[in-house]
Structure 1
Amino acid sequence: MSKVEVVSGSKINTILYSETLVGCDANITFEFNNDGKYAIRYFLEQNNQCLFDYEDAGLYNYDQTAQTVVTKRSNSSHTEIYKVERLNNNELVMSLYDN
Structure 2
Amino acid sequence: MKKHLLLFAFSALALTSCEDDDIQGYEMDMLKGEWKTVKTEVISGADNTTVLQTDTSTGCAAKNTTEFRTDYYASFTGYSGVGADCTPQKSEGTYTYDNETKELVTKYINDNDRKYKVVILSNTELKMMEMFDNIDTNGDMIIDFRYITYKR
TM-score > 0.5 by shorter chain:
yes
Corresponding position of 1:71: 106
Secondary structure at the aligned position of 1:25 is classed as helix
Secondary structure at the aligned position of 2:49 is classed as coil
Moved over 4 A (4+): none
Q: Which has the higher helix share?
A: 2
Corresponding position of 1:28: 64
Aligned pair count reads 97
Corresponding position of 1:18: 54
Structure of greater relative contact order (alpha carbons < 8 Å, 6+ residues apart): 2
The Cα of 1:74 is off from its aligned counterpart by 1.4
TM-superposition CA deviations, 1:9-66 (whole Å, max 9, x none) = 23210111101111111100010111111111011235x3243331122110011111
TM-superposition CA deviations, 1:48-89 (whole Å, max 9, x none) = 32433311221100111111101112134x111100000111
TM-score of the aligned structures, taking structure 1 as reference length: 0.87
What letter is aligned with 1:67? K
TM-score of the aligned structures, taking structure 2 as reference length: 0.59
The CA RMSD over aligned residues, in Å, is: 1.6
Sequence identity (%) = 32
What letter is aligned with 1:17? Q
Corresponding position of 1:95: 129
Q: Which runs of 5+ in 2 are unaligned?
A: 1-36, 134-152
